[in-house]
Structure 1
Amino acid sequence: MATTENGEKEMVVLYPPPAMGHLVSMVELGRLFLHRGLAVTIVTVDPPLNTGSIAAFIARASAAHPGIAFHRLPPVDLPPNPSSHHLEALACALLRRSNSNLLAFLRSLSPAPRALVLDMFCLFALDVAVPLHLPCFLFYTSGAAALAVFLHLPSLDVACAPSSFRDLAGTPLSIPGVPPLPADHMCLALLDRDDDAYRGLVYLSNRMPDVKGIFINTFRELEPRALEAVTAGLCLTDGRSTPPVYPIGPLITERKTDGGGECLAWLDALPNASVVFLCFGSIGQFEEEQLREIATGLDRSGHRFLWVVRSPPSHDPSKRFEAPPEPDLDALLPDGFLERTRARGLVVKAWAPQSEVLRHAAVGGFVTHCGWNSVLEAVVAGVPMLGWPLYAEQRMNKVFLVEEMQVAAAVEGYEGLVPAEEIETKVRWLMESEGGRRLRERAADMKEMAAAAVGEAGSSQAALEELVAQLKGGKDNGEGVGNTES
């Protein structure tokens, strides 16, 4: 166990943005560090638009992991009339303006922390660490293929100028380590180069090589080609070296959660691999017309389903990011749908214990928005996916899941209204066809590889032990935050 001169555990400070997918992964990382003899403090900032879910999650995480200290930075003022409608732009403004508060907190710590672990959106804090001579690491909470894209983004920014990625729709982008990526499948916040979100993400991508190491929530067997390209330095073209890379995933929450008993009890009575699970993340929403198409497709498919339904998004700009009200299923879904499908379907409102549902033997397929945490939960459970990307980097993930990892098929038409016929066809394909059977076999193989990666002598276990040893290895050499040669 690494200790200070006073016999205290060496501390690592983790700094995530106020976004659920990023927070969940960072807490899991903190749990791993805690179990390996490090003291852990997680610094949080208030979300710019408080839906209540972030505060509730932090309260649960603090109760579940009393050894992890949580520190909340004081709130900061944000521009009153942001020019961008993307949450990424708002996050950049929030985290950039929080630097002075973070610096004050870090200076107050005694003894000083051993290292600062930053989410990609928190790389503005690299400037805070310089005067403290505090080594910084990046925890990239998505996969290696997405990391390859962002490491290469500054080169794409120059190569594609003055066009925006939206203007290049359908044009395949050549990025080391990943399959050809249609330009309009880049992260949604990157489609318009005149947007503040675009400028913020390009800036953050440029700062990635300035850390001492990069931890990725993936494992070598899932993304070998992308990891090879990243670690070989092929994604950077400006002469800088890529920091050491540590694939330490899959990091997911596997402990039982409160609630959700109805879902699990319903699944208990059903045959193995007979249910299609549809769930689209903590902020995934559909218009009422799309909900009705999904319902009709599920009805016609004849297959068992468990579907998490959220209320449609508000069209009031002032309420766009507020938590939606509880859905009125009778009003939103087709007449008679709930009664007709009662014997083979369960519709739940707003939330289900996704990780536990995916690990249930009755679940045989997963219709997902392709958020990375959801992807990893499906991989660990050995459940094949139908990809229906909605926001953020999910279109990129869909390409990687289908073309490279081969653990998913795509729901076609996700750029607009997906008709009931497509939903019916894809559900039947997944559950009945030879192609669906091969996808299930691939998912089962990947489940075994994921378990091996985090097991004793596994690739992710070895990477984790190596990075913990580096974190315990001492303060920076006086040069401040800089690059470490691979």
Structure 2
Amino acid sequence: MEKAVVLYPGFIVSHFVPMMRLAGVLIQHGYAVSVALIDPAVNLDDAFAAAVARAAASMPSVTFHMIPLVESPLTPGAQFILNYLDIIARHNERFHDFLLRSSSTRGVDAVVVDSISVEAFAVTKRLGIPGYVLFTSNAAALAAFVQLPSVHAQARTSLKFKDLRDDAPLDFFGIPPMPASHLFGDIFDHPESDICKATVASLHGISEADGILVNTFESLDAPAVAALGDPRCLPGRVMPPVYCVGPFVGAAQTSKQQQQHECLSWLDGQPDHSVVFLCFGSAGHNHSEEQVKEIAVGLENSGHRFLWVVRAPFSDDPGTINAGLPNGFLERTSGRGLVVNQWVPQADVLRHTATGVFVTHCGWNSVLEGVTAGVPMLCWPLYAEQKLNKLRMVGEMGIAAAEMVASQQGLVEAAEVERKVRLAMESEEGRELRSRVAAHKKAAAVAWDDGRSSRAAFLRFLSDVESRRQPRPARSGEGK
């Protein structure tokens, strides 16, 4: 009897990519996998459509089903999360119809949604299908997120919002205190806003899942994993099973794809561990033109080789990239630097022997790619849980140097860029970082071996799915 899982990854690249890695592992274990996608036109980000196209082309065993778009697409800006949650809710009926058709034909054993799409559990519960979350960040972020609704409620009751707006520490069970601004500062700045209420409801919904798969491995996240298994993490409620099944990281490109990208050929000509790689995420974060110039001057003055992915606001045309950089910068750094403003195969860049340091926005997918490649990091957190990730990367994990520090004007100045690059590339501290991240790389490499933590966790997940399996509808001709 065929086993089947439906994945519902939402429409953010950083959530979609790990979900596709999960799809590959499910197929290896004998499951038929369908991916339900709201029409990619919902997201105006070209990077998402490109990621979907790459996955569809490289995973012929996976069935991709497009859910027709309801009304208007996602609009960028400050209302992003509210808009996102509303779109998921508005597509629930069409998602319901798709699951109903799937259940009536070959059956559906489980649905796995991304952590922002838990509104879809209204559909799975109605149909009696087990619903799981793939949490694409780490165990510490999960511990904070599931506790945040109760912390928020306590703050409302005790009228502590002013203190939290002033960045008083948030206290969570099992993880170090952190400033409120490090996690959804808006819900403490504007506690009665629609964004706040929707965000808190969404976070509450994560713990309503039948189980939570986390994109991490136990040795990297041990204190937080232990906290998630403690009843004190979620007092008065029952935490669903947590399965640490990572690392799910970007897949290596084929030889043909590698040859098509100039940056890998350029890296082939650089000495081992000599290149500073700067990339700020699949979402294509745009630094201001002033910030871009400060980075350029810092890199030039450092004297080190660099590969820099610039998503500048002034143009998407590679032919005009020079317009936003200091006069003569590309000419002066020719040979030791390469600047691109398009998608690059980040996982392959990090695995290349020439890459020595990774300047990252601390998105968890990027952190895992750095860890699995054994590359030490410099932190430049921008949004979401990235500041929490930074605290742990610099602290308990010991895989990154301290954060790039901005001036009072909000700019990370050229001198700071130069200082941090030299620290990572030239100092004893930089050598210690490389040693520590190498140890985590070894642990990541064996996490999916027989009997190791991630494989064992994934097998527990499959056992859970099997135990909840419902009788299949009879097909025409069966049983005769």
The aligned counterpart of 1:391 is: 383
Number of the residue aligned with 1:483: none
Q: Structure 1 residues 165, 461: CA separation in 2 closer, same or farther (over 3 Å shift)?
A: farther
Q: Which residue of 2 aligns with 1:42?
A: 35
Q: Provide the rounded CA distance (Å) in 2 between the counterparts of 1:443 and 1:34.
A: 31
Matches within 5 A, 1:305-344: 305-312=306-313, 324=316, 326=318, 328-344=320-336
Q: Distance in 1 between matches of 2:407 and 2:272?
A: 29
Match in the other structure for 1:160: 155
Output the CA distance in 2 between the equivalents of 1:70 and 1:370.
30
Aligned to 2:229: 231
Change (3 A) 1:169 1:131: same
Question: What residue number does 1:184 align with?
Answer: 181
Which letter does structure 2 place at the counterpart of 1:280? F
Q: CA deviation at 1:179?
A: 2.1
CA distance in 2, matches of 1:20, 1:34: 21
Which structure carries more helix by proportion? 2
Shift of 1:326: 4.4
Alpha-carbon displacement from aligned partner over 1:308-367 (angstroms, at most 9, x marks no partner)? 1112279xxxxxxxxx55472221100111111113111112222110000011111000
Matching residue of 1:320: none
* Alignment equivalent of 2:128, drawn from 128, 133, 147: 133
Deviation at 1:167, TM superposition (A): 5.0
Structure 2 counterpart of 1:281, which letter? G
More moved, 210-219 vs 185-194: 185-194
Q: Which residue of 2 aligns with 1:121?
A: 116
**Distance of 1:77 and 1:164 partners within structure 2:** 37
Q: 1:244 to 1:289 in 2, by over 3 A?
A: same
Which of the numbers 56, 67, 87 marks the counterpart of 2:61?
67
SS at match of 2:447: helix
Please state whether the residue corresponding to 2:358 is helix, strand or coil: strand
Number of the residue aligned with 1:104: 97
Question: How many residues are matched?
Answer: 459
Q: Secondary structure at the match of 1:435?
A: helix
Unaligned runs of 5+ in 2: 472-480
Contact 1:165 1:184 in 2 (8 A): no
Aligned match for 1:433, one of 422, 427, 430: 427
d(CA) in 1 for partners of 2:90 and 2:388?
A: 29
CA RMSD of aligned residues (A): 2.3
User: Secondary structure at the residue paired with 1:179?
Assistant: strand
CA distance in 2, matches of 1:327, 1:400: 39
Q: Distance in 1 between matches of 2:470 and 2:233?
A: 26
Mapping of 1:240-319 within 5 angstroms? 240-256=237-253, 258=257, 261-282=261-282, 283-312=284-313
Whether contact under 8 Å (1:28, 1:252) holds in the other structure is yes
CA distance in 1, matches of 2:107, 2:329: 60
Which residue of structure 2 aligns with residue 201 of structure 1? 199
CA contact (8 A) 2:74 2:84 kept: no
Give the gaps of 5 or more residues in structure 1.
Answer: 4-8, 315-323, 478-486
State the partner residue of 1:6: none
Provide the C-alpha distance between the structure 1 equivalents of 2:390 and 2:75, rounded to a whole number of angstroms: 33
Which structure's relative contact order is higher, taking Cα pairs within 8 Å and 6+ residues apart?
A: 1
Change (3 A) 1:78 1:199: farther
The question of whether the paired residues in 1 share the 8 Å contact of 2:138 and 2:215 is answered with yes
In the alignment, structure 1 residue 173 sits paired with structure 2 residue 167: no
Whole-Å separation in 2 of the counterparts to 1:385 and 1:80: 32
| Partner AA of 1:288 in structure 2 | E
Shift of 1:54: 2.2
TM-score, length-normalised on structure 2?
0.90
* Kept after mapping to 2: 8 A contact 1:286/1:313: no
Residue 450 (structure 1) aligned with residue 444 (structure 2): yes
- TM-score w.r.t. structure 1 length? 0.89
Distance 1:130 1:243, change over 3 A: same
Structure 1 residue 381: Cα displacement: 0.2
Residue-by-residue CA offset, 1:429-462 (whole Å, 9 max, x unaligned):
0011111111111111110011111223221111
Q: SS in structure 1 opposite 2:278?
A: strand
Once the two structures are superposed, residues 392-446 of structure 1 have per-residue CA deviations (whole angstroms, 9 ceiling, x without a partner) of 2212221222223221121112892100010000000001111111111111111
Q: Secondary structure at 2:306's aligned position in 1?
A: strand
